Every structure is written in C-alpha cells, then in structure tokens.
Chain A
C-alpha cells in the first residue's frame, strides 16, 4: 500500500495496464513528453515509447475518431481530452460513432476505449475549464459514464473500464486530483462498474453526489448532524450510467428522503433522471419531495464560482428542509 493522490493513482493504474497489455495505447494533446497538463500520464512516454503514448495534433474529433479506428482494429485506446470543456469538437465522434458502432453493426464491431477527461469546477477555471457535461453522455445510449471521487476508486474503476467491452467516458474531478490522499494498493485491482458505494451510513436523509461534490455532501452531513442531530446517508454512484439504482432505492426506502447534488446545471441534469427513477420505483416510501442542489442554469462563472457550485452551505439547508417536510 502507498499513500497516493488521484493523479498518482490513475498514473499508477495506467502504468500497470500498459505494462500488462501491449494493446493499450494512450493518445491526446500533450500526453507524451510533458505527461499531460495535469501530469496524469507522466512517465508513460519514457516507459512505453511514442508508439504507445501518442502526442496528437490539436483536434478532439481527430483524437476520438482515430481512437475509434484503433479500437475497431483491436487496440485498447485511452484517449485523453485535456479538459471536458473541449470534448464538444469531438462530441459527434462519441455520440454518432463510438456509442452506435455496436448497435448499428449488430455486435460485429465494438469500440472498447476509455476516454479520460478532467471535469468540474472549483479551480478558478472560468467558463471553459469547469464544465460538467456528464448528462449529455448519459443521454446517449451506448456510452458508459464513470466518475471516481477518490484515488482508490479511480485506479480500480480505470481497470474495470479498460476491461469493459464498450466505450467508457471517465470523468476525473480535477478538484480532487491532488486534494485527497489515501492508501492505494500497488497491485492491480478492480472496482466494478455499475456498483455504487454507501460512503456514509445514515437513517434520516439519502444524499447522492459524485466527483468533488461528494465531499461537499459529506461536509453538509456533518454540519446537520452537529446542528440538528440529522443522520444523513451519502451515496457515491461511482458509475453514473448504467446506474446502480438498487443501492439508491434501498437507501431511499430506509430514509424516505432524497437530496441530489451535482455541479452541472439543473435543467435536464442527471439529478432529474435520479428523481424520476426514485419516484417511479419507490414513491410510496418517500416522505418528502426529492430535492436537487446543483449548479445554476447559466454558464459556469469565474469570479463567482463558489456561489455557483452547490457547496455544503447550500446542501445543508436542503437536508434540513427535506428532513422537516
């Protein structure tokens, strides 16, 4: 075991996977010599050479489109999109091509690749370095969407994503990259996809949060425990889609109350889907209307990012209100 942050854990995972399987290749802007702008791919270029750690021209559609071709040939590409905000020029390749290849070819072809991309705010990144576009991809049948919130899960989910035969979008919360350290095993291990974690047990309210917002939810849970004696259960879905709904439902059946926290704007966000799923499947257990604490339906701001983000001070009142309803 070694103490690692998320950058180190993903880097260790990439080293391990590339060492174990010669078909794994990494490609993207600045991923080679420099090791990525967040240094997640550092050292891979020296270890595996420029044929497997490929610095590409600056074009997201090109990165994702050629990665699709590589996957169709039988390699296991891990394209990196430098910031999730720049995934849009490659959006068509993901939704029209990667997501649909298996379906349109009746399973004759598939695109096993893991698209890694840092996402989310809280690092003074302004409009174009802070977005959380997960809902766009959850809405696209054929894609899997994974979002680790800690170093241990990141390494284990990365391995599971690489073993998965379908295209996976791997959203890395960049605010967590270096902020959280924990013991991470040196050996290869998997954290299974579509398996949520109950991060904190409680009996009064269920909170579902992912990425960096998980820590805000935990902080809010502590606040309302001290102030109001509320016992909050916190769930980290880890894989957003396909979702481990059972773990969420089981919790809601116990607590009767649900609060969802995400950074992305509220309208048509993943929170809306979660509310629907819970209403459809556990309506009679609900003691209060589910609440969403989210980013606002505006572009992401620079100077006011702490007002935009659903931080603990906004989550705590939602917990109290839901509990009191």
Chain B
C-alpha cells in the first residue's frame, strides 16, 4: 500500500485502508524495502538519527525510574514515538523554529540543545532558564529556536502559524514545525490554525503524532474521519500520512514539507502514525484502557529495533559499534542527571521576576513580603479528605 514508508507497513489495525476514501492523500511512493534501502540519506545522517533515538529512549527510561523514586516530579516521555519526533526534527534547518507540544524533548536535543538545558528544567533547579516555574517537560530554548511548552492542548498550533507567517512577511525563508497529538486535533485551536495556515499559505509544517491515544481515549474517539491527514483537505492544506515508526520516512516527509513551505508552497499537515508504548505520563496507568496484547503487538513494531535492523543490514552499523554507542549514551545521561540533581532550588526573588519586563510596584511589595516570611514551610495535607 503506497504511503510514506520505508521499513514496514503501518499497522493495519490502526489505519482505515479504503483506498478510495483516501485518494485525496498526497502519497509518497516508497523508495525501498527494509534492509536494502536505496534512499539518498547518508550513513552519517542515519547514525545521527539513531543516536538521537537512543538518547531519547535512555532518558525516558531513567527519568521514569527517577520519577518512581520521587526524585523527579513528573515525566511525559516519548517511548515508542522516537522516530516521529527525531525524524521530523532532524529535517529542520538551523534557521527553522520548533514549536513543541510536550513529548518532544528529543527534538530539542536534536537541534543541539545541551542535555543540561533539558534536565535543569526537569528538576526545576536554579539553572533552569524557566526558573522552575513550570512542571517538568515544559521546556523552551531560545538558542535552539524552540518555543515554550504550554499545558493547554492545541494552543501552540496557531503560534506556529503566526510565527511562520511573520517570517514570510519579513521576507525570510524560515519554516516552523509544530508538534501536537491526535487529541489536539479536536481542539478549537487546531481548526483555527489550519484554517489560518491555509488561507495565508503560511510556511508551517503541522506534525500530528497520532500515537493512538489521548490519555485513555483511542484516536477513534477523537474523530469520525479516516485518520487525521485527511483533515488537511478541508482547509486547502496538503495532508500526508506517514509511517511514524519509520524514521527515514518521517525524515523525508518532513524534509519535503519543509522545502515546499520554504519555496512558498504553503503548509503541510503530516500525520505521523505511531504508538505510545508507555503510559500517557508518570501519573497514568494505561492498563485501565488497553490490553497487554495490544501493547506487546505495538512493541514488536517499535522504531528503534526496526531501525537498528536496517542499519545493520545496510552496513551503517555493526553490533560492536552499537554496543559502544549505547554505552556512550548511557554515560552521557548518567553524568548529566547527576549534575542536574545536585543543583539548588531557584532563588526566591525569581518568583516575582518576568511577570512583566519591568517589575511593577505591587510585585516589588509582594517580593518584600515574601522575603520577610522565613522559607522552609510546606503545604499541610488535609486530614480526613474524601478519598
């Protein structure tokens, strides 16, 4: 079945397959079979993608473990979705913008952010450029042209459209890549953003990670349409469905969408079809809404093993090199985690900064009041509460 894919088919149970109903999809023909991929993607780039995916996976595992030990407040990761995130981010150029949802720390790192930029935010420590104001995994980095993660679903999509359109108004060819989940396609802002993007022809790539779920709700409860890429058609936007577990397919589809946007050919909605292997977040227990069999079947198609098999087969990687790489990634993560954990809390003053560019009188007074109250208190748990 022709879709953007290189390595293996999109899992049939996740996709509707009626060819006729899907004829509006702009299809990309597969350029090869697993194992003998004739893609022009160089070995060096493939290894970069692979390392990005390994680093993300390792971080997810370590952060989830630290969360369980009470050392990290919260984690929302992307285990299983590495190909969708790393592949798309790698297709950006330096001048482009990344507009994340909340699972895309791997994309931030692919854009060259130091690991500490991310981990300091995870711990909300004094080195966090957000001064510990947001929950973990709500990062940003101006140096990497990565906007700031917001918790309300879908709100970042119109930002990306405005940002991209502003670039065009300024006569530049920067492109914005915005990530969101399948659940976000039900938000008002998704529709507003697609409509504005289409009407304006904004140079934006809209990447819907269809990981199968929005917390407990399966994709089929977000929409009655066949998938999400088709929604683009109603807004006069290109829609492309991509095997989101195939990092090369994601890379190529995003690269093409990026280039089209930069050429002035307007926006593309990518549907990256993948699967969320872990819980929605460290606060979720997915056993309440899906079966172990389903997860096991999805795990068999997970993107890292698949890509490793491809790298071995095409000679980009040997087992020995793989072991070395894994060890190097592990060591990097361990050292960065140790450093981030050791840092202090943000200073009390920072609580009152950045509300406005200049601190107004009422916040200066508030800061004085806070400083006079000794630090060290913590909230009391109410006794006899309902549960």
Indicate whether A and B interact: yes
| Chain A residues proximal to chain B, CB less than 8 Å | 25, 51-52, 56-57, 59, 61-62, 64-75, 77, 89, 92-93, 96-97, 100-110, 141-142, 144, 164-166, 194, 242-243, 245
Contacts A51-B169, A69-B165 known; A104 to B150 CB distance under 8 Å? yes
Question: Quick check: is B320 within 8 A (CB to CB) of the other chain?
Answer: no
Question: Quick check: is B164 within 8 A (CB to CB) of the other chain?
Answer: yes
B192 partner residues in chain A, CB cutoff 8 A: 57, 59, 61-62, 65
Quote the shortest CB–CB distance from A104 to chain B (angstroms): 5
Stretch at the interface among B10-18, B65-73, B155-163, B378-386: B155-163
Pick from B128, B142, B162, B167 the residue with the most CB of A within 10 Å. B162
Question: Quick check: is B147 within 8 A (CB to CB) of the other chain?
Answer: yes
State whether B128 touches A68 (Cβ < 8 A).
Answer: no
Quote the shortest CB–CB distance from A79 to chain B (angstroms): 10
A75 partner residues in chain B, CB cutoff 8 A: 166, 169-170
Contacts A92-B155, A106-B131, A245-B361 known; A69 to B163 CB distance under 8 Å? yes
A65 partner residues in chain B, CB cutoff 8 A: 155, 157-159, 161-162, 189, 192-193
Question: Quick check: is B130 within 8 A (CB to CB) of the other chain?
Answer: yes
- A-B CB contact pairs (8 Å), 27 listed: A57-B199, A61-B189, A65-B157, A65-B161, A66-B161, A69-B159, A69-B162, A69-B163, A70-B163, A72-B162, A75-B170, A92-B152, A93-B155, A93-B158, A93-B189, A101-B148, A104-B150, A105-B130, A105-B148, A105-B354, A106-B131, A106-B133, A107-B354, A108-B148, A242-B360, A242-B361, A243-B362
The complex places the Cα of A92 from the Cα of B361 at a distance, in Å, of 26
B361 partner residues in chain A, CB cutoff 8 A: 242, 245
| Chain B residues proximal to chain A, CB less than 8 Å | 128-131, 133-134, 138, 140-142, 147-148, 150, 152, 155, 157-167, 169-170, 176, 188-189, 191-193, 195-196, 199, 350, 353-357, 360-362
B158 partner residues in chain A, CB cutoff 8 A: 61-62, 64-66, 68-69, 93
A66 partner residues in chain B, CB cutoff 8 A: 158-159, 161-162, 165, 193, 196
Quote the shortest CB–CB distance from B327 to chain A (angstroms): 34
Contacts A59-B192, A69-B159 known; A105 to B129 CB distance under 8 Å? yes
State whether B147 touches A166 (Cβ < 8 A).
Answer: no
State whether A102 touches B354 (Cβ < 8 A).
Answer: yes
Quote the shortest CB–CB distance from A181 to chain B (angstroms): 33
A102 partner residues in chain B, CB cutoff 8 A: 354-357
The complex places the Cα of A245 from the Cα of B362 at a distance, in Å, of 10
Quote the shortest CB–CB distance from B201 to chain A (angstroms): 12
State whether A104 touches B130 (Cβ < 8 A).
Answer: yes
The complex places the Cα of A103 from the Cα of B355 at a distance, in Å, of 5
State whether B199 touches A108 (Cβ < 8 A).
Answer: no
A67 partner residues in chain B, CB cutoff 8 A: 162
State whether B164 touches A69 (Cβ < 8 A).
Answer: yes
State whether B142 touches A105 (Cβ < 8 A).
Answer: yes
Q: What are the 3 tightest A-B residue pairs by CB atom distance, in nearest-first order?
A: A69-B162, A65-B158, A66-B162
The complex places the Cα of A100 from the Cα of B151 at a distance, in Å, of 11
Quote the shortest CB–CB distance from B281 to chain A (angstroms): 19
State whether B354 touches A106 (Cβ < 8 A).
Answer: yes
B140 partner residues in chain A, CB cutoff 8 A: 104-105, 108-109
Pick from B142, B169, B170 the residue with the most CB of A within 10 Å. B169
Quote the shortest CB–CB distance from B145 to chain A (angstroms): 10
The complex places the Cα of A320 from the Cα of B356 at a distance, in Å, of 40
B188 partner residues in chain A, CB cutoff 8 A: 59, 61, 89
A71 partner residues in chain B, CB cutoff 8 A: 162
